[in-house]
Amino acid sequence: MKAIVNVSLKAGVLDSQGKAVHHALDSLHFNNVSDVRVGKQIILKLDETDETKAMADVTKMCEDLLANTVIEDYEIELVQ
């Protein structure tokens, strides 16, 4: 089973990397972009067949290590 974890900054948290990308896009004349938020994607290959257990394990991974839950949100997608 594979777990795909998408981590992004919470709304209201300044995204300096997103601002830099937005500025670069403007410099390249992509003027139709109103905002940019940059996040990260983590793909985990799990040796787990039980979806409930896998979701619990990956949630714990996110809470303990993969995301800074003070300033970041995360979404988990399990794929067979």
The string of pLDDT tens digits covering residues 18-76 is: 999 999 999 999 999 999 999 999 999 999 999 999 999 999 999 999 999 999 999 99
Do residues 11 and 5 make contact, with C-beta atoms less than 8 angstroms apart? no
Q: For the sheet containing 2-9, what is the strand order?
A: 40-45, 2-9, 72-79
| Structural domain range at position 25 | 2-79
> SS3 for 53?
helix
Domain count, the chain: 1
Which pLDDT does position 5 carry in this prediction?
98
Q: What is the CATH number of the domain that holds 60?
A: 3.30.1280.10
Report the predicted TM-score, pTM, of the whole model to 2 decimal places.
0.90
User: 61: which 2 tokens?
Assistant: 């991974």
Which pLDDT does position 55 carry in this prediction?
98
